[in-house]
Amino acid sequence: MEPLISLQNVGIRYKRGNKFFRKAIYFDVLKSVNLNIYSGETLGIIGRNGAGKSSLLKIISGILKPDSGQIVNNGALVTLLALQVGFDPNLSGRDNAIFGGMLQGFSRKGIEKKIDEIREYAELGDFFFEPVRTYSNGMRARLGFSLSITINPDVLLVDEILSVGDQYFREKAEKTMVAKIQSDQTVVLVSHSVAQINRLCDRAIYISDGTIKAEGNPAEVVEVYRSQK
Amino acid sequence: MPDKSISADKELQPADKAFEWPFQAMRNRQWVDSAYRWAVLRKAFPQHPATWFQGIDSYLKAGRYKSAKLLIDKAKSRFPNHPSILILSAQLFLHQGNTEKSETLLRKARQKHAYFLDTWLTSAQIAEQLGMLDRAAKYYNKACQCRPDRPSPFIEFAEFYMRTGQWELALERWKMLRNAYPQLSNGYLRAADAARQLGQSKFARQLSLSYYYGQDIFKKSTIAHKIHSQNIGWSKIIWFLNLIWTKALYNLRSEVHRNYLSYGWWILEPLLHMTVFYVVFDLLLKRGGENFPVFLLAGLIPWMWFMKVISNCSASILLGQNLILQVGIPSIIFPLVSFVQATLKQIPAFLLLFAFVIAQGFTFGSHWWALVPVVLVQLLLTIAIACSIAAIIPFIRDLTFLVPTGLTFMMLLSGIFYDYRGIYPKYQDLFLLNPMAFLLTCYRDIIMKSASPDFVSLTKWGIGSLFLCVFVFSVYRRLRYVFPRIIME
């Protein structure tokens, strides 16, 4: 089967200590990563903080270009869902949702038609019309998640978004995500919850120090991750 | 030998909570421990067969056949007709290599104790060990018929097919388990393993998801909507312009709602500026002249448009970093949004200018049409300069500090509160090389003198600005992947 997206020997490095008269120090975040993403699968990514998970997602979504190696995208439209969706704190939840929807490719009219659904799903009540700066973290996450489920890209990258909000909303969000997975949505899921990876994913990778340390069956990969903790 | 039956089947009687202690060791496959624990419990509950037979089982699994043999003999005298005697003895013989004797005992058990589940399970396990798979399947089947009220024979049977790689048969068994015991995980998760072996990954996923989330998730439809692809075409450009427009409007709205005077500031601010300049230059320095307020306003308001755009745009890419790093949106959107936002805010000020000019008795006529190209050239020039500065600042953030100084310098050199004709003639041409100085002259020529502006120079500036715009846009395209990097680093 031909992969939707294929990463070949992908490496990425960030510059640190960038000042005048000082030599830049490079820091390798990903080193020679090989990864295929296939249509319809749910791929889990686990690893500790700073292992390079988020950078990997940024590469897959096309926000960053790798410094070495290459990424082949066979025409898939990729969307990254992250906890800190670029909300403007001074705009109301509604305005943020409309702008956010447009950013994801909706037309203004298209997203306005969906706005009631988004509002209802987010369960924000009248806060929906208040500036986002007055929201709690959980409320922000709810708004972000509600917005993100309205879109259906070819590949959905989910960065820790399922572990926010209260228990009730987490369960609701996870169920919605499952329904999406079930409808053959290709999903790449980053999570610190190994149980979640086990439950949701068909395949998993474990990243540490910028390389893939284990790949395959989620249960086995989780085992490797646990053993190295 | 598989021992999944331990936890599922050897049922506890209410009085025997103590049995949980050895069973726990058995579940952890700590057979020596469990044998010891059963020995302790045997002292307390000698009349309870489990303390004997589970003890024997533990010895067998621990490989302590001598102890097992001794215990079987003791148990025999206590429970002579218990089917476990035959079954455990058969296992012992098998371990000692006496398959014939083992089979004889099992046959006897099958005849005498066909109702006893372990008879069939042990027969099946031993047949499987000896490689008689057909016979093993038959015994597993018997086990299922013998105790349809228990999950363990179904599990054992399915696991047998899993071990022998008969995935389809295993799937069938798991399905039976699922139907009878929908709460047990094996029916879903192990079935998913089997489905995966058959290459049915979709079915596998459905099985495991339905265990964790229930069957009803398959009925739910999502409210998701397929978004259009990334083709660059007119619809994409319209979408992009709409995005800029929407964001600019929203920004204005939120900005306005934070002030008490809200939209009033859009008029008040240029008026305040004008008052300051008027007081200083006309009243205090006596430098004004005839119609100084009109002269001042005609220069100040176009200048403020330029200044507001530049100062709002300069850090716009840095301020948009959240979006750049998460949506992968082209960075040019940020200076353009700032541009639209600042421009919309200047519209009332321009209207104020026109109203004021007409109120002062200047004629409003067809020559005012010349304002259109002047405004257009200023628009192009402003976009070009604003986008250039916005692009440079992420690379050299220190320049942020230079922007206000640069703007002040340019303001002083644009002749807002004085006429350039008052400076040394030899510097006048040089002075007009400042595009803003030139444009302000055009505005004043049209508004105050009812004269045509210098169209030749205007065209030159227009074409120059257009080229600069095109160049800057192409730089943005080229730097598309550099901006997120530079912002992160």
Report residue A26: phi and psi, to 5°.
-100, 150
Q: DSSP letters along B365-432, please?
A: -GGGGGHHHHHHHHHHHHHHHHHHHHHHTTT-GGGGGHHHHHHHHHHHTTTSSS-GGGS-HHHHHHHT
Examine the domain organization and report whether B198 and B254 are in the same domain.
Answer: no
Query: Is A164 inside a domain boundary?
Result: no
Query: Is B285 inside a domain boundary?
Result: yes
Query: Is A69 inside a domain boundary?
Result: no
pLDDT confidence tier of residue A164, bands split at 50, 70 and 90:
low
How far is residue B321 from each of residues A99, B248, B287, B483, measured CA to CA in Å? 16, 17, 47, 9
Integer-rounded Cα Rg, in Å, for chain A is: 18
pLDDT confidence tier of residue B6, bands split at 50, 70 and 90:
very low
Question: Chain A residue with minimal CA distance to B243?
Answer: A102
Distance from CA of A6 to the nearest CA of B (A): 19
Question: Chain B residue with minimal CA distance to A176?
Answer: B222
Examine the domain organization and report whether B258 and B141 are in the same domain.
Answer: no
A192 pLDDT above the threshold of 80: yes
Query: Is B66 inside a domain boundary?
Result: yes
Examine the domain organization and report whether B40 and B66 are in the same domain.
Answer: yes
Question: Cβ separation of B227 and A151 shorter than 8 Å?
Answer: yes
Share of chain B above pLDDT 70, in %: 93
Question: Cβ separation of A65 and B254 shorter than 8 Å?
Answer: no
Distance CA A144, CA A161 (A): 9
Share of chain A above pLDDT 70, in %: 93
Helix A108-122 vs helix A93-103: crossing angle, to nearest 10: 130
Distance CA A162, CA A190 (A): 9
Beta-sheet strands, E only, within B213-364: none
Using an 8 Å CB-CB cutoff, list chain B residues near A40.
202
Unique residue bearing structure tokens 């053959």: A184
Residue closest to B116 by CA, chosen among B95, B142, B90, B97:
B142
Q: What is the 3-state secondary structure (H, E, C) of B307-332?
A: HHHHHHHHCHHHHCHHHHHHHCCCCC
Question: Chain A residue with minimal CA distance to B203?
Answer: A182
Burial class (CB in 10 A: 0-12, 13-18, 19+), B92: buried
Question: Cβ separation of A179 and B217 shorter than 8 Å?
Answer: yes
- Mutation to test the B interface, candidates A140, A178, A181, A198, most B Cβ within 10 Å: A178
Distance CA B154, CA B133 (A): 17
Give residue A139's domain range: 91-152
The total domain count for chain B is 2
Distance from CA of B303 to the nearest CA of A (A): 28
Cβ atoms A25, A15 nearer than 8 A = yes
Query: Is A182 inside a domain boundary?
Result: no
Give tens-digit pLDDT for B101-129: 888 888 888 888 888 888 888 888 888 88
Task: Tokens for A183, please give them.
Answer: 């409808």
Examine the domain organization and report whether B199 and B283 are in the same domain.
Answer: no
Using an 8 Å CB-CB cutoff, list chain B residues near A110.
225
Where residue B212 sits, what CATH number does that domain have? 1.25.40.10
pLDDT confidence tier of residue B347, bands split at 50, 70 and 90:
very high
Full-prediction pTM beyond 0.80? no
Beta-sheet strands, E only, within B167-294: none
Residue B230 has its nearest CB partner, among A77, A99, A202, at A77
B288 pLDDT above the threshold of 90: no
Residue A117 has its nearest CB partner, among B223, B247, B485, at B223
Examine the domain organization and report whether B264 and B187 are in the same domain.
Answer: no
Q: Which residues contact B141 (CB under 8 A, 6 or more apart)?
A: B157
Give tens-digit pLDDT for B289-322: 778 888 888 898 999 999 999 999 998 998 888 7
Query: Is B229 inside a domain boundary?
Result: no
Residues A3-27 as b/e (b if ≥16 CB within 10 A, e otherwise) read bbbbbeebbbbbeeeeeeeeeeeee
Among B189, B217, B245, which residue terminates a domain? B217
Residues B377-396 have a mean pLDDT of 94
Distance CA B143, CA B150 (A): 10
pLDDT confidence tier of residue A109, bands split at 50, 70 and 90:
confident
Amino acid in the structure at residue A61 = S
Q: Give the 3-state secondary structure of residue B102.
A: helix
Question: Chain A residue with minimal CA distance to B208?
Answer: A199
Residue closest to B289 by CA, chosen among B414, B454, B417:
B417
Question: Cβ separation of A178 and B213 shorter than 8 Å?
Answer: yes
Give residue B467's domain range: 234-488
Burial class (CB in 10 A: 0-12, 13-18, 19+), B144: buried
Query: Is A132 inside a domain boundary?
Result: yes
Q: Which residues contact A36 (CB under 8 A, 6 or more apart)?
A: A3, A5, A6, A7
Q: Which residues contact A106 (CB under 8 A, 6 or more apart)?
A: A114, A151, B225, B227
Residue closest to B455 by CA, chosen among B472, B469, B438:
B438
Question: Cβ separation of A152 and B227 shorter than 8 Å?
Answer: yes
Query: Is A204 inside a domain boundary?
Result: no
B461 pLDDT above the threshold of 90: yes
Q: Please give the span between the terminal C-alpha atoms of chain B, in angstroms, as a whole number.
A: 58
pLDDT confidence tier of residue B209, bands split at 50, 70 and 90:
confident
Distance CA A80, CA A60 (A): 9
CA dihedral B211, B217, B219, B221 (to 10 degrees): -150
Using an 8 Å CB-CB cutoff, list chain A residues near B481.
64-65
Examine the domain organization and report whether B213 and B261 are in the same domain.
Answer: no
Among B187, B217, B247, which residue terminates a domain? B217
Query: Is A173 inside a domain boundary?
Result: no
Using an 8 Å CB-CB cutoff, list chain A residues near B484.
58, 63-64
Q: Please give the span between the terminal C-alpha atoms of chain A, in angstroms, as a whole number.
A: 34
Using an 8 Å CB-CB cutoff, list chain B residues near A174.
213
Question: Cβ separation of B222 and A121 shorter than 8 Å?
Answer: no
Question: Cβ separation of A180 and B251 shorter than 8 Å?
Answer: no
Query: Is B226 inside a domain boundary?
Result: no
Examine the domain organization and report whether B314 and B346 are in the same domain.
Answer: yes
**Range list of H helices, B63-200:** 65-78, 83-95, 99-112, 117-129, 133-146, 152-163, 167-180, 186-197
Q: Which residues are registered as beta bridge partners of A6? A: A36, A72
Residue closest to B78 by CA, chosen among B109, B115, B45:
B45
A140 pLDDT above the threshold of 60: yes
Cβ atoms A29, A56 nearer than 8 A = no
* H or E segment and range at residue A204: strand A203-208
Question: Cβ separation of B229 and A77 shorter than 8 Å?
Answer: yes
State the count of interchain CB pairs (< 8 A) between A and B: 134
Give tens-digit pLDDT for A59-105: 998 888 899 999 998 888 888 876 556 788 888 899 998 988 888 77
Examine the domain organization and report whether B87 and B178 are in the same domain.
Answer: yes
Question: Chain A residue with minimal CA distance to B236?
Answer: A105
Examine the domain organization and report whether B195 and B245 are in the same domain.
Answer: no
Question: Chain A residue with minimal CA distance to B326?
Answer: A80
Amino acid in the structure at residue A144 = G
Distance CA B464, CA B20 (A): 88
B193 pLDDT above the threshold of 60: yes
Question: Cβ separation of B481 and A41 shorter than 8 Å?
Answer: no
Residue closest to A59 by CA, chosen among A103, A1, A5, A3:
A5
Bridging pattern class, strands A5-16 and A25-37: antiparallel
Residue B250 has its nearest CB partner, among A16, A85, A99, at A99
Examine the domain organization and report whether B206 and B340 are in the same domain.
Answer: no
Question: Chain A residue with minimal CA distance to B185?
Answer: A199
B10 pLDDT above the threshold of 60: no
User: In chain A, helix, strand, coil percent, each to 5?
Assistant: 40, 30, 30
Cβ-based neighbour number of residue A44 at 10 Å? 26
The total domain count for chain A is 1
Examine the domain organization and report whether B157 and B242 are in the same domain.
Answer: no
Question: Cβ separation of B227 and A174 shorter than 8 Å?
Answer: no
Distance from CA of B54 to the nearest CA of A (A): 32
Residue A178 has its nearest CB partner, among B209, B250, B325, at B209
A166 pLDDT above the threshold of 90: no
Query: Is A31 inside a domain boundary?
Result: no
How far is residue B87 from each of residues A92, B110, B124, measured CA to CA in Å? 74, 10, 12
* H or E segment and range at residue B39: helix B31-44
Using an 8 Å CB-CB cutoff, list chain A residues near B226.
152
B218 pLDDT above the threshold of 60: no
Residue B328 has its nearest CB partner, among A40, A62, A91, at A62
B214 or B31, higher pLDDT: B31
Examine the domain organization and report whether B318 and B369 are in the same domain.
Answer: yes
For residue B247, the model assigns a pLDDT of: 92
Give tens-digit pLDDT for B226-263: 444 445 577 788 888 999 999 999 989 888 877 777 78
Distance from CA of A212 to the nearest CA of B (A): 23
Residue B250 has its nearest CB partner, among A16, A91, A174, at A91
Residues A121-134 as b/e (b if ≥16 CB within 10 A, e otherwise) read bbbbeebbeebbee
Question: Chain A residue with minimal CA distance to B248?
Answer: A99
For residue B211, the model assigns a pLDDT of: 82
Distance CA B194, CA B210 (A): 16
Residues B57-73 have a mean pLDDT of 90
Residues B364-380 as b/e (b if ≥16 CB within 10 A, e otherwise) read eeebeebbeebbebbbb
**Range list of H helices, chain A:** 53-60, 93-103, 108-122, 137-148, 167-182, 194-200, 218-227
Question: Cβ separation of A99 and B229 shorter than 8 Å?
Answer: no
